[in-house]
Amino acid sequence: MRDGATRLVVVADDFGRTSGVNRATVSALKDGIVTAASLMAGGQEFEEAARLAREHRRLGVGLHVTVCDGFAVLPPDHFRGFAGGDGGLEPNPTRAGVRLWRERRRLLPIMQDEIAAQFDRAGRAGIALTHVDGHHHMHIHPLVFPIVCREASRRGVGWIRIPRGDPREGRLAEWALFGVLGSLNGRTAARHGLDASTRVHGLSRTGRIEESYLLDLLPRLRPGLNEIFVHPDLDTEEGRRELAAVTSPRVRQQVARLGIALVSYASAGMGATS
């Protein structure tokens, strides 16, 4: 890849959550611009997702660390009240984050075990993880991020998502918060030998990625490694809209016209962090 090239990783989040998500992700890989997926180790259709990942080696698969709004990998009794009897985690990210902070002495060792178990389940399924990020971006929580970095580094995972926000796409307060966390987490990631894309897009567009958004965004991408994360899903209106956006012929034509190189984190190379 020549110096100054504009590279783009398009990541489908929530891989493994449902069969509708899994099938939409593969469709977006085959017929669209998606190059990677982030896998929920506790997802209801994890096994199907793992099989599809093995069948479609071009798809770069990372771990979508889940500490809320999903299911734990470890047995529910391991969480002593943090998860329900079915293993379901706190559905609200804000409440989960506050509780982690308030009960950190008790919960952090539990989170350490659960996050390690999520990495391990993906490994046992024969998936060589290329990157790591988090459901609802909970991996950037100040108490969770160092755990995720340590576990990723131990397993040779090279990339981690560090969303910094985009003032064009979100509220000023959100942009400022993610900017501060991004700076702090960038240093933590570097200490663990992890790299991150220069820019992450879609932070304020979850469920609202449309063709028009991508057509506006693509010409604004700057040289270096960019990431867009999306949520294709055949079973929801929002997910079908996002699938239509990433498989749009107009979007694919614009990627080609602008000379944007579609890559996965497996093929991105190192040194992207600005």
Mean pLDDT, range 257-265, rounded to an integer: 97
Q: In this model, does residue 136 exceed pLDDT 80?
A: yes
Q: In this model, does residue 2 exceed pLDDT 70?
A: no
| Rounded Cα gap, residues 230 and 249, in angstroms | 17
Q: Is residue 274 part of a domain?
A: no
Q: Is residue 271 part of a domain?
A: no
Q: Is residue 221 part of a domain?
A: yes
Provide the domain limits for residue 209: 6-262
Q: In this model, does residue 167 exceed pLDDT 90?
A: no
Centre a 10 Å sphere on the Cβ of residue 242 and count the other Cβ atoms it contains: 29
Q: Is residue 207 part of a domain?
A: yes
| Rounded Cα gap, residues 202 and 71, in angstroms | 24
Q: Is residue 57 part of a domain?
A: yes
Q: Is residue 255 part of a domain?
A: yes
Amino acid (1-letter code) at residue 233:
D
* Residue 149: strand pairing partners: none
Number of domains, the chain: 1
Query: What is the dihedral sign for C-alpha 54, 265, 138, 80?
Result: positive
Q: Is residue 1 part of a domain?
A: no
Q: In this model, does residue 5 exceed pLDDT 70?
A: yes
Look at residue 25 in the predicted model and tell me its pLDDT: 98
Domain containing 22 — which CATH number?
Answer: 3.20.20.370
